[in-house]
Structure 1
């Protein structure tokens, strides 16, 4: 669909879920050239602290129907909300045993099986004796740091536009 139709569908809040989230450095692609100049290539203090430039800069656009499942990323993540509000439900990496993560094979990629980690536990249904999750409400103009390997579920409050920067996770010391 055209970008204009996509935005119209978000604003009219029809029955379908519309979410722009290709996660492949989509702001470097030709379709977003007009807005790329308005988005910094990196976050200076993060690039200095992590001694790297971001591996990907992604644009995310959705509304309250656009909710991710609980997952973790192997990137240091800086998330800037441009419009609206994102709500992150967070668990640290040491919650691994309680989140019932397992691998599924959703599709075949170039003839090779591709595995995908999947978390079956929903934060609302975890054991009562666990501490509650951390909740981060990231509003328009906020920049949020999400460390690599932290489990998170992301929701939007209304029509939301955000940009995130993925910096490669460093292994070892």
Structure 2
């Protein structure tokens, strides 16, 4: 039995009947631009055992299922697992005294995470557009529908796909210098504040984030200046 299967087996025995929040999308892209809208996943509550059955393909269900929350699944929904991980990373806690949720340590427990990273200095070449917010909804026949949110709450988002950038639409993006990083099981990535990032993962990936507040020092003011100059130049 592989490492991922062992983890799921252990967690299923521990959490099997527990109700958890699951994000569901038709394509695996959560909080992303689709059909010129910023579409968020359908959020569904199900037992952890049912979720594992879908991940292990024992049960067929349309769409891509993913346990993820901006406000921490681990602490809010899986306190039983807190003993399996450190409550903080000591050397990072010592290095970062001032805090605001931007500094990120990305720890992969199983599987792999694939990152495309852009430093803040790439901001002049990265486009932003405003999008209608929406949410995926799964119909009874398994098809996905996009439900619009409030039209007044437009969302600023990056329209370019770094996997297949359309340089005819966004020629300036060709001037960026992206970094491609793969983080494997047992490895940790320090994702600095203000860096742009695109993330993919392997099947059955389990990871834990440690968030630390950023220091509002010269790098923050430099980025604000760069962002303002970019907007003033018309490269939103």
Cross-structure match for 2:204: 159
Cross-structure match for 1:83: 110
Cross-structure match for 1:144: 189
My pick for the range that moved more, 132-141 or 76-85, is 132-141
Cross-structure match for 1:118: 157
Count, aligned residues = 149
* CA shift in 2, pair 1:116/1:48, >3 Å: farther
Cross-structure match for 1:61: none
Structure 2: runs of 5+ lacking an equivalent: 1-45, 134-148, 219-236
* CA shift in 2, pair 1:103/1:149, >3 Å: farther
* CA shift in 2, pair 1:103/1:76, >3 Å: farther
Cross-structure match for 2:72: 25
> Given the two structures, how large is their TM-score scaled by the length of structure 1?
0.75
Cross-structure match for 1:101: 128
Higher relative contact order (CA 8 A, sep 6+): 1
Deviation at 1:10, TM superposition (A): 1.5
Looking at structure 2, the residues matched to 115 and 165 of structure 1 have their Cα atoms a distance apart, in angstroms, of 29
The answer on whether the counterparts of 2:107 and 2:208 sit within 8 Å (CA) in structure 1 is yes
Q: Which runs of 4+ in 1 moved over 6 A?
A: none
Deviation at 1:114, TM superposition (A): 5.0
Looking at structure 2, the residues matched to 24 and 7 of structure 1 have their Cα atoms a distance apart, in angstroms, of 22
Looking at structure 1, the residues matched to 121 and 90 of structure 2 have their Cα atoms a distance apart, in angstroms, of 30
* CA shift in 2, pair 1:116/1:75, >3 Å: farther
Greater share of helix: 2
> Given the two structures, how large is their TM-score scaled by the length of structure 2?
0.57
Q: Of the two, which has the highest radius of gyration?
A: 2
Cross-structure match for 1:58: none
Cross-structure match for 1:39: 85
CA RMSD of aligned residues (A): 2.4
